[in-house]
Structure 1
Amino acid sequence: MLRAYTIAFLIFLYAPILLLPVFAFNDGTVIAFPLDGFTTKWFEELWTNAELHAALVNSLLVACASSVLAVLLGIAAARANIRYKFPGKTAAMGLIMLPLVLPEIIVAVSLLVVAIRILGLDLSLWTVVAAHVLICTPFAVAILNASFQSLDASLEEAAIDLGFTRGETFRLITLPLIMPGIVAALLISFTISLDEFIIAFFLTGSDPTLPVYIWSLLRFPRLIPVVMALGTILMVVSISILILAEWNRRRGLRRAGVADKGGFL
């Protein structure tokens, strides 16, 4: 019964996503069965849409900046959490991981009020980057916690005993050993930022990100198949990045000789 329930749940969860490529290659503009025929013209329209290209560039810039910043913060937080004991550590880690359980709409409205009313900032891609760093950092910390836990602390102690400074030990010993976790955290943070819509919708200025631009296309029924084609590409890219991130995570565990106890999610 549990196996049947799991299969039914997965079908219910992923069947709507699997319909994206079906209608992306449909010749008609109405999203309904029966299909009108096979075509690739909706994918061809993606290459001639200058506004789409600009939104894609904006999303890539935001995703790259926010993922790098989130991983840098995640390395610092995960190392402090695993290697050190200090007053308030549990509370601090709880605050860092809090965005995982807060509704994104609440986070978005709160950041909008802070950015406009308190800080007096103009909405731009940088406000989106700051918000995405906030929501991506907990994912980076969760992945890097496992990387630091699987790293034998005696290796760092031995390097220091042999004359390395703490900075040299971190750069030459620690970083190479946790690099698979860093790559996995980068890929996960990049995917989350690239696909995120609610916060970007509230905090973006005159330069929309790709999810916000896709939302604007839904007002025009003729362009819905184009959205389906774009969604198909994003789905393939996101799944590929997640598979690569999971492969890096497992490779890091194998190198450290640690048993795999489950995925990073």
Structure 2
Amino acid sequence: MLRAYTLAFLLFLYAPILLLPVFAFNEGTVIAFPLDGFTTEWFGRLTTTPTLHRALANSLLVATASAVLATALGLMAARAAVRYRFRGKGAAMGLIMLPLVLPEIIVATSLLVVVVRILGLPLSLLTVVAAHTLICTPFAVAILNASFSNLDPALEEAAVDLGETRASTFRLVTLPLIMPGIVASLLISFTISLDEFIIAFFLTGSDPTLPVYVWSLLRFPRELPTIMALGTILVIVSIALLTLAEWSRRRGLRRTGAQDTGGFLAQ
């Protein structure tokens, strides 16, 4: 029964995504069956749309910056959580992980009020980067926390006993061993930021990200096949990045000899 439920759940969740490539290669502009014929015209249009290219460049810039910042913050938070004991650690880690359970619409509205009303800053890609770093950091902490937990502290202690400083031990011993976790954190954070819409919709200014640009195209029915083509590419890219992140996570487990207990969040 559990297998049947899991299969039905996955089918309900992902079956609509399977329709993206079907209509992306459909010759007609009406999203309905029966199909009119096979064409690659809609994919060709993606290469001749300057506004799409600018939105894609904005999304890549935001996703890269957010991934790097979130991974750097997650690296510090995860090391502190695993290696040290201090007063208020549980409360601090709970606060860091809070964006995982808060509705994005609440987070977006709150950030909009803070940025515009309290700080008086203009909406721009910088505000989107800051917001995406906020929501990506918990994922980075979850991944890197598993990496530090699977790392034997005796390796670091041995390096210190042999004359290395704490800084050189971290650079020469700790960092290489947790590098698969860092790569996985970067890829997961990049994917989350690239696909995120609600917060970007609230905080973007005159330079929309790719999801916001796609939303704007929905007002024009004749652009729906182009959106389907773009969605097909985004799904393929997202799956590839997540697969690479999971491969990197498992590679890190093999290097440390730890037991695999599931996906990166399950650890």
Interval containing the TM-score (normalised by the shorter chain): over 0.9
Shift of 1:3: 1.6
Shift of 1:21: 0.4
Moved over 2 A (4+): none
2:86 match: secondary structure: coil
1:11-36, Cα deviation, whole Å (9 max, x unpaired) = 11100011000000000111011000
Q: Aligned equivalents of 1:4 and 1:86: distance in 2?
A: 46
1:130-186, Cα deviation, whole Å (9 max, x unpaired) = 000000000000000000000000111111111111100011110000000000000
Q: Aligned equivalents of 1:62 and 1:32: distance in 2?
A: 35
1:207 match: secondary structure: coil
1:31-85, Cα deviation, whole Å (9 max, x unpaired) = 0110000000000000000000000000000000000000000000000000000
1:23-172 matches, within 5 Å, as: 23-172=23-172
Match of 1:259 in 2: 259
Q: Aligned equivalents of 2:158 and 2:177: distance in 1?
A: 15
Which deviates more from structure 2 when the two are superposed, residues 71-80 or residues 8-17?
8-17
Match of 1:212 in 2: 212
2:31 match: secondary structure: coil
Q: Aligned equivalents of 1:4 and 1:173: distance in 2?
A: 46
**What letter is aligned with 2:103?**
P
Shift of 1:189: 0.1
Q: Aligned equivalents of 1:113 and 1:123: distance in 2?
A: 11
1:196-252, Cα deviation, whole Å (9 max, x unpaired) = 000000000000000000000000000000000000000000000000000000000
Q: Report the number of matched residues.
A: 265
Q: Aligned equivalents of 2:2 and 2:56: distance in 1?
A: 41
Q: Aligned equivalents of 2:115 and 2:5: distance in 1?
A: 45
Give the alignment's TM-score, normalised by structure 1. 0.99
2:120 match: secondary structure: coil
2:74 match: secondary structure: helix
Which deviates more from structure 2 when the two are superposed, residues 155-164 or residues 138-147?
155-164
Confirm or deny that 1:231 pairs with 2:231: yes
Shift of 1:2: 1.8
Shift of 1:4: 1.5
**What letter is aligned with 1:51?**
T
Shift of 1:5: 1.6
**What letter is aligned with 2:120?**
G
Q: Aligned equivalents of 2:199 and 2:213: distance in 1?
A: 14
Q: Aligned equivalents of 1:153 and 1:196: distance in 2?
A: 37
Shift of 1:7: 1.1
Of all paired residues, the percent bearing the same amino acid is 80
Match of 2:173 in 1: 173
Give the alignment's TM-score, normalised by structure 2. 0.99
Q: Aligned equivalents of 1:257 and 1:4: distance in 2?
A: 34
